[in-house]
Amino acid sequence: MITLPNVSGSVLGGNPANSLLPWDFPEVLDYYDARGGITQSGERVSAVAPSLKGADSLLQATGANQPIYLPYSGAPYITCKGAASNGLTAPNVSITGNVTITADVALDSYATGSQTLAFNITANTGFSLVLLATGVLRLAIGNGASTTTYDSTSAVATAAYTRCTILVEYTDGGSGDVKFYVDGVQLGATVNTTVTLSASSAAMSFIRATTNTPIGKFYGATITNGAGTTYYNWSSANLVEGATSFTGNDGLTYTIAVSGAVRAMVVARPWIVHDAAAYFMRAAFSLDQPCGVVFCGLQNTHTNTRALWDGAVNGTASRLRQNTSVASGIQLLAPTTSTVDGDFSLSTKMVVGAMLNGASSYMQVNQWAETASSPGTNNMGGITVGADSATAPTLFCALQWTAMAVVNQSMTPTRMRQLVAAMQRLY
């Protein structure tokens, strides 16, 4: 767990507004930060501890409702959770002869379902590398007339979520062979081959989006002839947060296909991800109007009335929700609807602040002008993240967030902009 210093006195002591940190503001009751305080099993989050101890931990004891935690330790990666139409491709390069494939990955499991790590097969030409559900690696080679598969004689034994380098060396020709390696150790025996590789005209998929999509973290890959010729080469150093394409070390343009609530993306900071279907967290504590929430995050899909956050009182609306009357629109509800704000663009990291204060309520995205409204006087009684306040929620939202401040005092829009700016400086 990280410890964020409680130095709220510095606000009164004369800190200039442009040097404040979120926990410097006396209006902030508490602060949740994806960089620390996380209790998890695998990559599912059961608790997020508050940094200032003014509120309670966000909790979710039911595994099926726990959001996904995407960690970050200094090396950017592409995450993919296996959803359809999410993947990574590069333009076609004509490849014949010997082939050496490396994949720098940390899969959620090395023994669950088939996962394709390289693929450009079309009309019985090209090749693919697949990790089978048994943990066996399978190389497929197309010779123009048929496709032949070769399997490792031992299974990958790498633990789930653990980073490793998978390497395959294929020697072409009627009397060639295949060797499979994990972290430099050969996986079983050398396998003899009997075919000659025919060049494919298809693009190369490193995260296949159509079938057998791999699930995990992807740090890089190379495809060479094993003797000085490089066909593909991309690495963590090429990745930029928010980008859906990048230039590899080979000068080629790689494209990340994204779709749905839990989508492929470059990870360069920790995230907590909600799926718009089942994931939510909740903390119940005293929180009456005037109160509010400021979070750094993004919305991956946009469905009318879905709750980004709500209070924690069963069935009592005191929420920020999506509204489709405006593209990417959001509005307050407590219990009447507010004016819609359309500044929270889809799949774009922003800092969003909202203050519930009766007729003086408002929303604010980044440091842009606030949208004033009067959504009612319902109190929050805590916070529910990613869904509505019902004991059994139904209004799940595709929210992805990295930090969240809970405010329990009135803040003017100008003061809120200072808090938003403080979070922008950090995230």
DSSP classification of residue 386: S
Rounded Cα–Cα distance for residues 61 and 64 (Å): 9
What distance in Å separates the CA atoms of residue 151 and residue 186, rounded to the nearest whole number?
13
* Domain final residue pick, 267, 287, 313: 267
| pLDDT the model gives residue 44 | 97
What is the β-pairing status of strands 99-107 and 204-207? unpaired
Tally the domains of the chain. Answer: 2
Residues 18 and 133 placed together within one structural domain of the fold = no
- Euclidean distance between CA atoms 117 and 102, whole angstroms: 9
Say how far apart CA 85 and CA 312 lie, in whole Å.
Answer: 35
The answer on 291 and 242 residing in a single domain is: no
Residue % of the chain over a pLDDT of 70 = 96
The more confident residue out of 6 and 195 is: 195
- In this structure, are 19 and 134 located in the same domain? no
Same domain, 127 and 170: yes
Q: Does residue 2 sit within a domain?
A: no
Query: 239-246, long-range: CB within 8 Å, 24+ apart, which pairs?
Result: 239/76, 239/77, 239/78, 239/266, 239/268, 240/76, 240/266, 240/268, 241/76, 241/266, 241/267, 241/268, 241/269, 241/349, 242/266, 242/348, 242/349
Torsion 350-355-356-358 (CA) sign: negative
Residues 129, 101 contacting (CB under 8 angstroms): yes
Domain boundary among 244, 267, 290: 267
Q: Which of 219, 242, 267 is the last residue of a domain?
A: 267
Q: What are the pLDDT digits (tens) for 61-80?
A: 999 999 999 999 999 999 99
Q: What is the pLDDT of residue 84?
A: 87
- Same domain (yes/no): 317, 352: yes
Strands (E), 15-86: 28-33, 38-41, 44-48, 58-59, 68-70, 77-81
CB-CB neighbours of 94 under 10 Å: 9
Tokens of 247: 């230039």
pLDDT at 174: 81
146 with 113, same domain?
yes
Q: Is the pLDDT of residue 191 over 70?
A: yes
Q: What number is the average pLDDT over the span 83-94?
A: 96
At 417, give phi and psi (nearest 5°): -60, -35
The verdict on residue 348 lying in a domain is yes
pLDDT number for residue 2: 37
Write b or e for each residue in 37-56: b if 16 or more Cβ atoms lie within 10 A of its Cβ, otherwise e.
bbbbeebbbbbbbbbbeebb
Question: What's the pLDDT score for residue 68?
Answer: 97
Tell me the per-residue pLDDT of 209-222, one tens digit each, with 9 for 90 and over.
999 999 999 999 99
290 and 337 both lie in a single domain? yes
How many angstroms separate the CA atoms of 47 and 58, rounded?
5
What is the residue range of 106's domain? 77-267
Provide the 8-state DSSP code for 360. G
- Would you say residue 1 lies in a domain? no
What's the pLDDT at 192? 96
Q: What is the pLDDT of residues 295-332, one digit of tens each?
A: 999 999 999 999 999 999 998 999 999 999 999 999 99
- Indicate whether 175 belongs to any domain: yes
Residue 127 lies in a domain: yes
The average confidence (pLDDT) of the chain is: 94
Q: Which helix (H) or strand (E) holds 56?
A: none
Beta bridge mates, 165? 104
> pLDDT at position 16, please?
57
Same domain? For 287 and 399 the reply is yes
Same domain assignment for residues 310 and 249: no
The answer to whether residue 3 sits within a structural domain is no
First to last CA, the chain: 18
The Cα–Cα gap between 270 and 268 comes to 7
**Domain assignment of residue 274, yes or no:** yes
> Is this model's pTM higher than 0.85 or not?
yes
Q: Which of 40, 32, 31 is nearest to 71 (CA)?
A: 40
Residue pair 23/52 in contact (Cβ under 8 Å)? The answer is yes
Which burial class, exposed, middle or buried, applies to 160 when counting CB atoms under 10 A from its CB (0-12, 13-18, 19+)? middle
Same-domain pairing of 52 and 96: no
Same domain, 280 and 366: yes
In a domain, 378, yes or no: yes
Q: Are residues 61 and 125 in the same domain?
A: no
Per the CB < 8 A criterion, the answer to whether 122 and 201 are in contact is yes
> What CATH number is given to the structural domain containing 358?
2.60.120.200
Phi, psi for residue 225 in degrees, rounded to 5: -95, 5
Residues paired with residue 403 on neighbouring β-strands, in sequence order: 33, 296
Which phi and psi (to 5°) does residue 358 adopt?
55, -130
